[in-house]
């Protein structure tokens, strides 16, 4: 079935409908990863978004039950150049396109993704809608005009606290949509993990006497996390605190800095980041549309530890006095390089050795 993507600015991109073949709309973003389509659409941070895959062919290694970053697909839609019809991988349990159809995920293929990405790079990410080609542009824009901003964290995060058994360092994780691999990495280090919902209070977290608190990734604007920002503010100096992605931004806001929305964000597995203490550059996995405002940190006790090579945005920070540090990028990868996976050992050691 022929279809099209209609952007909020009125531009249309023709293609072929796949998957659910029903209208879908959300913020249209792009990721530059050459692999990782399965991890991408199941990453809770993509909730509410229509993901454009810049690599031209998707689905070449099929799908399986063990590589997802959550228990379901969170992306609102998928935009690709071409689907592979004959996947090949020893773990493959079927084709990606068939999976999208079975799970009623709307996708569009045979679309000029290079042209679409040029628009998003030049004008910034914007809302869009996938419809069949019989729908007029005017009707598509009318439907798109009714798309309301939504806070997805309550949907993607856990609802009640729960524990993952372990005999080592006791880590409290504040879940805003934590990827499976974050918990998997901590478990692999022998940690005892208590996962808290995003509305957990400082008193609830302190009551379990954890060695440290890790703030997870998640979707949406960090300013929405008013409760979590206040919780971090109350816990500062009482617990070692670390953050990843959205968790990094929440720490910055709690300590008096500000955040802002990037024009088209950083998404993919090939983003170079420099660690200022060593001048070492590592390739990183990233998925964020917001960043910490460097100038807003001047009147705080925060200092930058990592920067993005391409645009010099803040990729890591620490508190000058309190046990608190964070990374904007994803050290757990999935998808993406494992260059920074050692940071989980660093976090655990930080929790265990910090004095409060």
Active-site residues, by number, are: 245, 330, 332
DSSP characters over 254-313: HTT--EEEEEEEEEEEEEEEEETTTTEEEEEEEEEEEEE-TGGGTTSSEEEEEEETTT--
Burial (Cβ within 10 Å: 0-12, 13-18, ≥19) of residue 118: exposed
How far apart are alpha carbons 73 and 40 in whole angstroms? 9
Residue 252: asked if its preceding bond is cis (omega within 30°), the reply is no
How far apart are alpha carbons 79 and 40 in whole angstroms? 12
CA angle, 76 as apex, 75 and 82 as ends, to 5°? 80
Strand partners, 194: 163, 172
Both tokens assigned to 124: 């910034």
- Are 342 and 185 a contacting pair, CB within 8 Å? no
How far apart are alpha carbons 45 and 328 in whole angstroms? 13
**DSSP for residue 102:** H
Strand partners, 126: 28
Three-class secondary structure of residue 129 per DSSP: strand
DSSP characters over 36-57: -HHHHHT-GGGTTEEEEE-SSE
- Are 66 and 38 a contacting pair, CB within 8 Å? no
Q: Which residues of 254-278 are buried (b: 16+ CB within 10 A; e: fewer)?
A: bbebbbeeeebbbbbbebebbeeee
Strand 212-215 to 126-132 pairing: unpaired
């Amino acid at each position: 079935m022929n279809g099209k993507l209609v952007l909020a600015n009125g531009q249309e991109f023709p293609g072929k409908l796949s998957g659910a073949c029903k209208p879908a709309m959300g913020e249209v973003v792009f990721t530059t990863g050459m692999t990782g389509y399965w991890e991408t659409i199941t990453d809770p941070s993509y909730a509410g978004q229509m993901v454009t895959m810049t690599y031209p062919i998707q689905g070449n290694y099929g799908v399986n039950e063990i590589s997802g970053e959550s228990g379901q697909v969170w992306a609102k839609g998928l935009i690709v150049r071409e689907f592979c019809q004959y996947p090949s991988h020893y773990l493959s349990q079927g084709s990606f396109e068939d999976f999208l159809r079975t799970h009623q995920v709307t996708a569009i293929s045979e679309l000029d993704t290079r042209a679409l990405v040029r628009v998003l790079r030049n004008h910034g990410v914007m809302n869009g809608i996938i419809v069949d080609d019989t729908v007029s542009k005017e009707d598509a824009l009318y439907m798109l005009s009714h798309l309301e901003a939504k806070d997805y964290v309550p949907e993607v995060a856990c609802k009640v606290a729960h524990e993952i058994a372990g005999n080592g360092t006791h880590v409290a994780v504040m879940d805003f949509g934590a990827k499976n691999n974050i918990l998997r990495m901590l478990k692999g280090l022998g940690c005892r993990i208590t996962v808290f919902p995003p509305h957990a209070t400082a008193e609830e977290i302190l009551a379990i006497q954890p060695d440290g608190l890790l703030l997870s990734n998640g979707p949406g604007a960090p300013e929405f996390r008013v409760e979590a920002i206040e919780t971090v503010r109350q816990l500062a100096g009482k617990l070692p605190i670390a953050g990843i992605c959205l968790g990094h931004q929440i720490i910055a806001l709690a300590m008096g800095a500000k955040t802002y929305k990037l024009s088209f964000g950083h998404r993919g597995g090939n983003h170079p980041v420099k660690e200022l203490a060593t001048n070492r550059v590592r390739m990183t996995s990233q998925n964020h549309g917001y960043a910490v405002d460097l100038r807003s940190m001047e009147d705080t006790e925060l200092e930058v530890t990592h920067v993005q090579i391409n645009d010099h945005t803040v990729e890591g920070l620490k508190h000058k006095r309190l046990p608190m540090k964070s990374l904007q990028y994803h050290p757990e990868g999935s998808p993406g390089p494992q260059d920074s996976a050692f940071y989980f050992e660093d976090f655990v050691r930080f929790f265990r050795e910090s004095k409060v």
